[in-house]
Amino acid sequence: MENKEKCGHASGYNYCRMGMTDSDFQSAAKDLTEFVVNYYSNLNEIHANPSVEPGYMKSLLPASAPEQPDKWDDVFKDFDKIVMAGLAHWQSSRFFAFFPTATSYPSILADVLIDCCSCMGFTWNSSPACTELEPIVLDWLAKAIGLPNAFIYDGKGPGCGVIQGSASEATIMTVLAARAKTLRTLAVKYPGQSQHTLLSKLVAYASECSHSSVERACLIAMVKLNKVPVDENIAVRGDALKAAMDKDRKDGMIPFYVCATLGTTDCASFDNIVEIGPVCGADVWLHVDAAYAGASFICPEYRHFMEGVEMVTSFNFNPHKWLMVNFDFSALWVKNCVDLINSFNVNPVYLRHENQATTIDYRHWQLPLGRRFRSLKLWFVMRIFGVENMRKRIREDVQHAKTFEELVRADDRFEICFPVHLGLVCFRLVVAGECDDEKINKVNQDLLGRIVDSKEIYIVGSRVRQRFHLRLVTGSVGCDDKAVKFAWKSIQKHACSVLREIV
């Protein structure tokens, strides 16, 4: 203690604790632990979406921050009264709206330790443990989902994984890396052309049903995006991609990037990588966005969806959707990490260190400089659950979706709109004798509005090829067959009211 006081550590530490002592923190942490356990124990009783209006919070909170400290009890009471009232409860047994957001006790505990240590692992020197654990656990995960050895780091590379904040960030990273790599090649091939001219010729490609993040990535990169038409299974096929590329090349454009989607948001469809890969060849960067479906590949029976993955340049999915790892945690693998490093390497003196030639500096692999110790979450989850229990969770959620599909198919007032893959069921109410899609769209929009307004369950709709449908997604912590059957009864009840009004 004497040495700490001489160094000033004790006074600095006390300053950090000014608002809360050790005993205060222990008491508050006990309150939070009890709250978390009670929250997860009562998910069946929680409405998924809140009953508040926009701006509800403004009248409940003061206009300025307090000058003097508030008591923890008062802060926590306000959290329970004000904040909880406006939360959408993604883990509720009544939440079926979006692809799930994962959580688990081990991941929550890891997040506590991450926040406790509060390290910034942008270089090996800034936090060796943070840097070294990441490629190890991403190798574990790559092997667990069956990625080819070309993506495994194993201490030598050049294939390697890196944690991004989201699939959107992973797409931006790969678009920018592909752009930089292509421009370097073109500068040698066309030495008389300016970078601006070459950039204006670059074209990226993605499904017309790809996630909006692909379009945003291309806007950021200032490159053209060509949306490729899909087949009857809402999948991009090799011939459609080749036709689009051939036309662009004929017009003087340069294809440089393709984003193939495995598990689209609209209907969980899968682009055909086996056909797309040869069209891309060695010159076009082929990225796979498997944000939702990638978690299912931990089960061998679903890996046929990524057949042809050995031909891709980069692969991404979100463990924070379906593998019990809390947000934010998106895993991106590249076959050659040099492609990222060469594109984002900025090396000021204050970030250089004596070990940089032999270690990973993840600051070159991402958009921000700072990075949290996110690999700790996956390490805890994989060790405490084990891969087999992670598979079990996926299979249970898929079975819940199959249960709902069977219920829909048993009612001839409804139809299943697309093949049911994994945990997403797309369906709609049909009207006897009605063939006009737009009229049926309005009926289903009306049905969705009544379901959401009732607060009984939370689902959303989507539109593919001008046909509106409803989406039900399994995967929340509270989801089970009982919850699925409750959701179906609610949907049927509101469907009856809609149909009565039509008659």
- Per-residue pLDDT of the chain (503 residues), as tens digits, is 444 444 444 444 555 556 788 888 899 999 999 999 999 988 887 888 888 889 999 999 999 999 888 999 999 999 999 999 998 899 999 999 989 999 999 999 999 999 888 888 777 777 888 888 999 999 999 999 999 999 999 888 899 999 999 999 999 999 999 999 999 999 999 988 888 999 999 999 999 999 889 999 999 989 999 999 999 999 999 999 999 999 999 999 999 999 999 999 999 999 999 999 999 999 999 999 999 999 999 999 999 999 999 999 999 999 999 999 999 999 999 999 888 887 777 777 666 767 776 767 777 777 776 788 899 999 999 999 999 999 999 999 999 999 999 999 999 999 999 999 999 999 999 987 667 888 999 999 999 999 999 999 999 999 998 899 999 999 999 899 999 999 999 999 999 998 888 76
The strand pair at 202-207 and 254-261 is best described as: parallel
Cβ-based neighbours of 500, under 8 Å, separated by 6 or more: none
| Run of H or E including 315 | strand 314-317
Q: How many CB atoms lie within 10 A of CB 309?
A: 24
- Helices 375-385 and 387-409, packing angle to 10 deg: 80
First-residue to last-residue Cα distance in the chain:
82
CB distance 104 to 381 below 8 Å: yes
Q: Which two tokens stand for residue 320?
A: 């924070």
Opening angle at CA 72, ends 71 and 74, nearest 5: 70
Q: How many CB atoms lie within 10 A of CB 440?
A: 19
CB distance 316 to 171 below 8 Å: yes
Cβ-based neighbours of 140, under 8 Å, separated by 6 or more: 378, 382
Cβ-based neighbours of 83, under 8 Å, separated by 6 or more: none
pLDDT of residue 11: 47
pLDDT of residue 7: 42
Of 274, 302, 273, the closest CA to residue 288 belongs to: 273
Cβ-based neighbours of 235, under 8 Å, separated by 6 or more: 207, 269, 270, 271, 272
Opening angle at CA 340, ends 337 and 341, nearest 5: 85
Q: How many CB atoms lie within 10 A of CB 128?
A: 14
pLDDT of residue 179: 95
In 3-state terms, what secondary structure has residue 100?
Answer: coil
pLDDT of residue 118: 84
Task: Report the amino acid identity of residue 361.
Answer: D
In 3-state terms, what secondary structure has residue 364?
Answer: helix
Q: Which two tokens stand for residue 257?
A: 């990037």
Determine the Cα–Cα distance for residues 377 and 328; give it in Å rounded to an integer: 10
Determine the Cα–Cα distance for residues 338 and 442; give it in Å rounded to an integer: 51
Q: What is the pTM for the complete model shown?
A: 0.90
Task: Report the amino acid identity of residue 491.
Answer: I
Q: How long a stretch of residues is the chain? A: 503
- Read off the DSSP letter of residue 158: S
Q: How many CB atoms lie within 10 A of CB 84?
A: 14
CB distance 100 to 331 below 8 Å: no
CB distance 196 to 179 below 8 Å: no
In 47-112, DSSP assigns E strands to: none
